[in-house]
């Protein structure tokens, strides 16, 4: 598989009132096309900073970030982001929110019918056709998050970046959405980079789990290859020895090797 996102010796510091704070140091990571990669680590270790560098929302202080062989020099539709809080426009319907993004990306070269077809297809993908005309305040948190995912996918990004996309949801809704995401990833072959705190989510969804050390100067500690066959099924995995082995490896990294006591 082709190298797709590359971080080479990335360092990121922030100049604060108290002086320079080095958040990331020596981050080296290569993500291949079609791969689902999770970033996991304790709070504040720099997961979002890594994601934001790939998104082009933050610039590395040193080193280089590449997408498809080109230096990332700002946000772009090839790298769509889904945040924890859906960030939908409240005055637009579900359909309108997705259409807006679709128009931005494809509006210059496609007609209205094509743009509408893209929008409808995205709603179908996340099972939300029935809610197409509803506004964000009329739907649940899980549905809003699905609209956010549909909006990102409708842009046909080369990489889908997700920052704790299910973090604000209750456990059941989160599980449902994770299951949907498993299917969407299988169906679309998307390249996904996802920040998560949830070990089960990481194992269920990922091809590789990037485990980060604690900051300051956080870096990639270990990378776990998750070789569970796809399609994956939550119930079947509950009794799968390999699943539990992967899960234990992540827990061991977080709570033995890189334990961080509560502040």
Ligand X SMILES: Nc1ncnc2c1ncn2[C@@H]1O[C@H](COP(=O)(O)OP(=O)(O)OP(=O)(O)O)[C@@H](O)[C@H]1O
Q: CA–CA separation, 104 vs 107, rounded Å?
A: 6
Candidate ranges 14-22, 101-109, 234-242, 245-253; the one touching ligand X (CB under 6 A) = 14-22
> Which one of 45, 67, 94, 160 is in contact with ligand X (CB under 6 A)?
45
C-alpha dihedral over 220, 13, 198, 177, to 10 degrees?
A: -110
Smallest gap, in angstroms, from Cβ of residue 216 to ligand X? 7
> Which one of 38, 48, 191, 213 is in contact with ligand X (CB under 6 A)?
48
72: left (phi over 0), alpha (psi -120 to 50) or beta: beta
Token duo for residue 136: 């964000």
Q: Which is nearer to ligand X, 158 or 197 (CB)?
A: 197
256 by Cβ neighbours in 10 Å (0-12 / 13-18 / 19+) ranks as: exposed
State which H helix or E strand residue 204 sits in.
helix 199-205
Q: Which is nearer to ligand X, 21 or 255 (CB)?
A: 21
Residues 89-108 close enough to bind ligand X by CB under 6 A: none
Smallest gap, in angstroms, from Cβ of residue 137 to ligand X? 26
Binding residues with ligand X: total (CB under 6 A): 13
- Is position 44 an interface residue for ligand X (rule: CB under 6 A)? yes
- Is position 23 an interface residue for ligand X (rule: CB under 6 A)? yes
Write the binding mask 137 to 176 for ligand X: x where contact by CB under 6 A, - elsewhere: ----------------------------------------
Q: CA–CA separation, 107 vs 120, rounded Å?
A: 15
- Is position 47 an interface residue for ligand X (rule: CB under 6 A)? yes
In the chain, which ranges are continuous DSSP H helix?
Answer: 47-55, 94-106, 112-125, 141-154, 171-188, 199-205, 234-237, 241-252
Smallest gap, in angstroms, from Cβ of residue 156 to ligand X? 27
CA 9 to chain centroid, in Å, comes to 21
What radius of gyration do the chain's Cα atoms show? Answer: 19
Residues that bind ligand X (CB under 6 A): 14, 16, 21, 23, 41, 43-49, 215
């Amino acid at each position: 598989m082709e190298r797709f996102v590359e971080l080479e010796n990335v360092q990121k510091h922030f100049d604060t009132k108290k002086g320079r704070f080095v958040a990331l140091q020596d981050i080296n990571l290569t993500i291949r096309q079609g791969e689902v990669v999770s970033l996991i680590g304790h709070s504040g270790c720099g997961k979002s900073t890594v994601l934001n560098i790939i998104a082009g929302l933050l610039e590395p202080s040193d080193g280089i970030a590449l997408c498809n062989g080109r230096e990332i020099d700002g946000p772009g539709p090839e790298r769509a982001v889904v945040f924890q809080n859906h960030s939908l426009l409240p005055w637009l319907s579900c359909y309108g929110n997705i259409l807006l993004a679709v128009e931005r990306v494809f509006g210059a070269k496609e007609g209205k019918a094509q743009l509408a077809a893209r929008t409808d297809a995205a709603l179908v993908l996340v099972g939300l056709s029935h809610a197409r005309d509803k506004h964000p305040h009329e739907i649940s948190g899980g549905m809003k998050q699905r609209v956010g995912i549909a909006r990102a996918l409708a842009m046909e990004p080369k990489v889908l970046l997700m920052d704790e996309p299910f973090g604000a949801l209750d456990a059941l809704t989160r599980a449902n959405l994770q299951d949907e995401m498993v299917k969407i990833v299988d169906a679309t072959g998307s390249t996904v980079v996802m920040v998560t705190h949830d070990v089960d989510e990481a194992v269920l969804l990922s091809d590789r789990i990037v485990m980060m050390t604690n900051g300051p100067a956080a870096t990639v500690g270990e990378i776990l290859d998750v070789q569970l066959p796809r399609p994956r099924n939550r119930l079947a995995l509950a009794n799968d020895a390999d699943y539990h082995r992967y899960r234990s490896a992540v827990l061991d990294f977080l709570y033995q090797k890189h334990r961080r006591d509560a502040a």
